[in-house]
Amino acid sequence: MLLNVFQKSLDWNLTWHTENPDFTKCFQNTVLVWVPCIYLWVCFPIYFLYLRRHDRGYIQMSHLNKAKTALGLLLWIICWADLFYSFWERSQNVFRPPVFVISPTVLGITMLLATFLIQFERMKGVQSSGVMLIFWFTALLCATIIFRSKILHALKLGPEVDVFRYVTFYSYFVLVLIQLILSCFPERPPLFSETVNDSNPCPESSASFLSKITFWWITGLMIQGYRRPLEAKDLWSLNKDDTSGEVVQGLAKYWEKECANTNKQAIKMVYSPKKQTKSSNSNGDVTEEVEALIVKPSQRNSAPSLLKVLYKTFGPYFLMSFLFKACHDLMMFSGPEILKLLINFVNDKDAPNWQGYLYTGLLFACACLQTLILHQYFHICFVTGMRLKTAVIGAVYRKALVITNSARKTSTVGEIVNLMSVDAQRFMDLTTYINMIWSAPLQVILALYLLWQNLGPSVLAGVAVMILLVPVNAVMAMKTKTYQVAHMKSKDNRIKLMNEILNGIKVLKLYAWELAFKEKVLGIRQEELKVLKKSVALSTFAVYVLVDKNNVLDAQKAFVSLALFNILRFPLNILPMVISSMVQASVSLERLRLFLSHEELDPDSIIRGSIKDAEGSIIVKNATFSWSRNDPPSLNDINFTVPEGSLIAIVGQVGCGKSSLLSALLGEMDKREGYVAVKGSVAYVPQQAWIQNAALKDNIIFGREMKESQYKRVIEACALLPDIEILPSGDRTEIGEKGVNLSGGQKQRVSLARAVYCNTDVYLFDDPLSAVDAHVGKHIFDKVIGPKGILKNKTRILVTHGVSYLPLMDRIIVMTDGKISEMGSYQELLKQDGAFAEFLRTYANADQDVENGDANSPTVKEGKPMENGVLANEATGKPILRQLSNSSTYSGETRKSLNQTSTTELQKAPAEKNAWKLTEADTAKTGRVKAIVYWEYMKSIGLLISFLSIFLFMCNHIAALASNYWLSLWTDDPVINGTQQHTHVRLGVYGALGMSQGIAVFGYSMAVSIGGIFASRHLHIDLLHNVLRSPMSFFERTPSGNLVNRFSKEIDTIDSVIPQIIKMFMGSLFNVIGACIIILLATPIAAIVIPPLGLVYFFVQRFYVATSRQLKRLESVSRSPVYSHFNETLLGVSVIRAFEEQTRFKLQSDLKVDENQKAYFPSIVANRWLAVRLECVGNCIVLFAALFAVIARHSLSPGLVGLSVSYSLQVTTYLNWLVRMTSELETNIVAVERVQEYSEMEKEAPWCIEQTAPPNSWPHEGQVEFRGYGLRYREDLDLVLKNINVTIKGGEKVGIVGRTGAGKSSLTLGLFRINESAEGEIIIDGVNVAKIGLHDLRFKITIIPQDPVLFSGSLRMNLDPFDKYSDEEIWTSLELAHLKNFVSSLPDKLNHECSEGGENLSVGQRQLVCLARALLRKSKILVLDEATAAVDLETDDLIQSTIRTQFEDCTVLTIAHRLNTIMDYERVIVLDKGEIVECDSPANLLQKKGIFYSMAKDSGLV
């Protein structure tokens, strides 16, 4: 019906072929009135439902709202006035057509609907409505046409007009205009919305519709960012829908459902036969058949599909983006179509001028609309991408808290961190491209259809080429996928290795192993780059082919086709990108799915909570445990009951399963059979203290509420008061990552205090007393653990090697090889005269303190806390006294000095506010990226390649311009007898230009990609070298998260992102320049417009980059804490689970992710803001190109008009890309800047100095001489050691003792030049050690450090990373270290894989491995730092005897806590406050009754 009306109501002579166009009356009264009405009624049902679903709260009536409603009612009254007027006319016998009744009725009802919507939106909390705005706009547009027509009529007809209808129409027009203006303003926020109580809410939710579509609402932030660099406090809070809390919940919910569904199917399969066995009747077999049939189909999809889950969670948003994208794609083709009309118009000299202006206007309007729609689409995509990343990180974090230990082994820390950084990023990148999968083919098909219309069958040649290319592309995609998987694998390995190097850096330095590990990392990196090279070669080939086929297509006559080809070129170029992006994402998807499907700990294997009428607080019956499902059980058939409130000791040799038993009680192991119940809440103190990077106080309170009195009691009982006094800001002092600025003993006591403060029912202590001094141990036992301690009414299980505590225990459990061999009280076990009695007899003499009942050190030494394999502090052990004695010395120190090496680092700081900040957060640089960074990057590519690729780019674009210009000349060739002359010449030149273009493209793609690989190789080697050359103090100050961030994210950017961006940047730059040149050639008058537009463009760009770059940096900086916190959680996961603090940690992680997204969100919006502004500039170029073409149409040839307009149509796209790429380049080159950052850091002394290198046989005697030696940790600090003068003869055995903080460890650090001397010198066999290279020195002396550190790799690699020794030598050293039996029992012997940090060996075994290392190196000088702390007494004896026999002719320096180990040494040096106070043989010193005597007395040796 409408169509009929339409055709009848149009009169072409009146409307088109005239200088002054107009519509017929009928058309005005029907179509123009009905269009807005139809729009609103179509939108209404969908919009109504949407509002019902999304209620944002209630908005109070405001003046704005009252005004809108009143106007709506007025409009309704006007329409009905018209209607009644028509009825009145009828009664006066003036018969009008029915339209005069129908139109006002329809319009009136529509106005009522609009008024209803205004109120309904207010009830549902909509602050600004797009639907209504578009309605009023359409109504106004239609009314404007009628308005113009009515005025023309009035001028023509004079007095004969229908006055009443004119008046109603004019008032209608004015009211609609006011409504439109009013609906541009937003309402006030709804009551009770989050924004009310938010200090810095995101302005998006309260912005008006216009502000939203043009991204005007971010302008405030942009201005702020332009005036001064942005800081974290300027960023808005996230919208509620984007926060982790909302997003992760959704994903987790769907994932659980999906897992449940697939598990249901899986379970069906497992149980099917069982059901059948019950029914033993005749049709039993039938049942089984049926079962099998039901089960079969579900077998295939038994793996839960992550894709489905992501689709369910984020699908709805994608649907929106789908609609926007489809609109945009269809509109893209309006450009060429209008261009066709424009060229016809230029050809047709008789056409009225207004048509040209109409086309120009249409072109401009279409382009602007396209811009707005496209960026709404991008905005949705990016926000979805951001949510997706949040969800992935949240899901990975939550999973990491519950996976079993066996699963932890398969996913290393490096891998999990990569899942969070690289893989989550891949998803984010994909969301922006994913729609191209359907949109690109759609664009191609549409373009081909239109080309077919233009050119006919000759298009088919092009189509054929394209169809042929599809399989080629598919093959490439498959290859790329395999390369991608390999690349990710090497990347994981590299990050994992880096993680370990950073964790064990101290050991690397002491052993001078940096080079061996550097080689290992570079080996992996080499693999990674090889894969990259292959994929580069592939992609370059693809580019070449793709470009070439455009050349096959291009030789056609007409610019419409050229414009269409330009449209075609984009999807075709982007398709390979999308495909590779999809490939990468599918690899990531699989990795994520695997990780999220790992088996989880079974929370019900241990019954926790209040058990009714149980006979004890811990009950274990016939229980067997293993570390994972497929391992042999490590604890067999365990039976015991612990009565409430009793104190139990677990004793046994190294590796007999003491710690495993505690893990089993915590539910960390896999229970094979039996029954385990633990009554009430649990607190756990692990053998290696886990300390968070937080204030000391927060470490102890651990998320519980603060109770002053209880807190003080705990601190005192755990002997932490003296330590707190020494720390720079007391208990508010920030503790570094893994507790670097605490000594081992302090960490252990903080860990203990945490457990005691939590005040739970059951306490599990895994040998906390080994890391502390004898008298501190005694203090802690008396005040906390023992029968008179704070915990006397709680159930306590203590793993210990301290014989002296055993008589005080209620019961003792003796373990051997994973079984309980004996159990009973101290007296009962002595009576039984079994293994335990034997054990006691051996040791009662070794430590006579048993008689004194004095808790003494020799016994009390196991497992020095080793911070996850990091040698944390040499001076563990006995912190307190040391510090007390020393606190005076360190008062001047400030916070940076983190020298953990001895507890000296706990100095007082001048009263600065943040005195206790010790780790340096990742800092954001400000200001522009300096040109030098680009220059550095070019240098690392190689200048030859850099300039070559720029030259090739130029060639390519000159060829392209020339070929198109040639084409325009060709189109203007006169047609003679229906054909053109010179066709062959034209075609030949055109073809040649096309070919040269192809060659240039191929050349520059290769050059850039190869250059990129050179650059990233070069930069990575530099970074690695610089980091390894940094002194120890650098690693103490820098959180490992920062370093890992550099090695994963930034290197990944340099590898795969920057070269791509450079290619696109150069491409768009030359395209823009080219387009401007062409427009200027065709219409020289455009020279007036292009420079001002260029200026506008430039200013907008600079304005934007200031903000965008800073946002990117803030985002980079806030990313590090996410990883640091994650790393920390992984290390302490068993503690977190034991204390049941998972929820709090999840919240913390979410907060950190949100902080990161807070910086990311404005940066995407800023991108959109910029793009909308710039495309408007681009659209202006189109406008002017077309306008000037219309104005000068009598002097221009159609060929040139076509050329100029088709190029201007491209300009917007290219400008858009250019700015995106400029900012991308700036923001990504930051990666180079951050990698370069470390090259300016201070370095250690050189590793080797040729001139002064000592002879190979040095040191031949091993004589060490300190002459006036002094040492300080930093320039501005006091001396830690002063005037040390002592000569140690070759082959002498010397013990070094002293209270905590006396400077014992500092002495060894000085000897190894971990810290350079402040005064005096150390001479070894006549060579001043300060004059030779560090490696020359460190290779020649051996240390057995306090914390045994192993790296993941074979056992062999751990003993001998340089492969210097034969297998026989290694076996001998293992035999001497008493490890031979253990290693021979391993399935892989020397190739036994150690896990990260050596987790799969017990602490004692690791200590023995370190001894074996020393035995292998067999150097003349051996330093033992507290090396036997972590082993039981039996092994300790073995080690001491080995050292006596094997190192008979070597100089041995031993730092000892157990004095009985050095009683037979030739000399003992006693240090106090950094000076030597006594130095003589042990016997003489005892007679002097000085400091040594008092220490011996404390140990019960005298």
Residue by residue, DSSP assigns 671-682 as EEEEEEEEEB-E
CA 481, CA 581: separation in Å to the nearest integer? 10
Percent of the chain clearing pLDDT 90 (strictly above)? 3
Neighbours of 309 (CB within 10 A): 24
Confidence of residue 74 (pLDDT cuts 50, 70, 90): very high
At residue 91, does pLDDT exceed 80?
Answer: yes
Stretch 532-541: mean pLDDT:
65
CA 1042, CA 919: separation in Å to the nearest integer? 11
| 592 vs 286, more confident | 592
| 845 vs 448, more confident | 448
**What pLDDT does 816 receive?**
83
Let me know: does 125 contact 111? Beta carbons within 8 Å: no
| 1166 vs 1438, more confident | 1166
The two tokens of residue 851 are 């008689």
Considering the chain, what is the average pLDDT of its residues?
A: 77
618-622, 1021-1025, 1276-1280, 1408-1412: which has the highest mean pLDDT? Answer: 618-622
**Residue found by looking up tokens 């008009």 in the block:** 1201
**What pLDDT does 139 receive?**
92
Stretch 831-846: mean pLDDT:
71
DSSP for residue 60: P
At residue 655, does pLDDT exceed 70?
Answer: yes
At residue 924, does pLDDT exceed 60?
Answer: no
Confidence of residue 176 (pLDDT cuts 50, 70, 90): very high
Stretch 1469-1496: mean pLDDT:
82
Confidence of residue 177 (pLDDT cuts 50, 70, 90): very high
- State how beta strands 795-799 and 762-766 pair: parallel
- State how beta strands 670-679 and 607-609 pair: parallel
| 1430 vs 246, more confident | 246
Confidence of residue 914 (pLDDT cuts 50, 70, 90): very low
- State how beta strands 795-799 and 647-652 pair: parallel
**What pLDDT does 473 receive?**
67
Structure confidence by residue, pLDDT tens digits, 599-636? 888 878 888 776 665 677 888 888 888 887 777 888 88
The two tokens of residue 1025 are 């070298």
Confidence of residue 903 (pLDDT cuts 50, 70, 90): very low
Question: What angle separates helix 1198-1237 from helix 1090-1131, to the nearest 10 degrees?
Answer: 30
| 1054 vs 80, more confident | 80
Cα radius of gyration (the chain): 40
| 1083 vs 209, more confident | 209
Range from 340-344, 905-909, 1221-1225 carrying the lowest mean pLDDT: 905-909
At residue 136, does pLDDT exceed 80?
Answer: yes
At residue 174, does pLDDT exceed 90?
Answer: yes
DSSP string, 1178-1198: HHHHHHHHHHHHHHTTTTS-H
Structure confidence by residue, pLDDT tens digits, 658-668? 888 888 888 88
**What pLDDT does 673 receive?**
86
300-304, 420-424, 991-995, 1497-1501: which has the highest mean pLDDT? Answer: 420-424
Structure confidence by residue, pLDDT tens digits, 970-982? 666 665 665 556 6
Confidence of residue 13 (pLDDT cuts 50, 70, 90): low
Range from 37-41, 315-319, 461-465, 743-747 carrying the lowest mean pLDDT: 461-465
Q: Specify which residues 1269 forms β-bridges with.
A: 1284
- E strand residue ranges, 957-1061: 975-976, 979-980
**What pLDDT does 328 receive?**
87
Structure confidence by residue, pLDDT tens digits, 1332-1363? 888 888 888 888 877 777 887 788 888 888 77
Let me know: does 1202 contact 343? Beta carbons within 8 Å: yes
Residue from 1398, 1391, 1386, 1390 nearest 1348 by CA: 1398
**What pLDDT does 569 receive?**
66
Residue from 114, 98, 119, 121 nearest 37 by CA: 114
At residue 853, does pLDDT exceed 70?
Answer: no
If DSSP codes are grouped into helix, strand and coil, which group holds residue 824? strand
Say which residues have a Cβ less than 8 Å from residue 481's Cβ, sequence separation at least 6.
Answer: 583, 586, 587
**What pLDDT does 847 receive?**
45
Range from 381-395, 981-995, 1010-1024, 1053-1067 carrying the lowest mean pLDDT: 981-995
At residue 920, does pLDDT exceed 60?
Answer: no
Burial 35-49 (b: 16+ CB within 10 A, else e): ebbebbeebbeebee
**What pLDDT does 909 receive?**
33
Helix (H) or strand (E) holding 1000: helix 983-1029
At residue 1167, does pLDDT exceed 80?
Answer: yes
Region label for 1456, one of left (φ > 0), alpha (ψ between -120 and 50) or beta (otherwise)? beta
Torsion of CA 1404, 1410, 1416, 1421, to 10 degrees: -120
**What pLDDT does 981 receive?**
61
Residue type, 1426: E
CA 478, CA 469: separation in Å to the nearest integer? 14
Structure confidence by residue, pLDDT tens digits, 484-519? 777 777 787 888 888 888 777 887 888 878 777 888
At residue 537, does pLDDT exceed 50?
Answer: yes
Global pTM value: 0.71
Let me know: does 62 contact 187? Beta carbons within 8 Å: yes
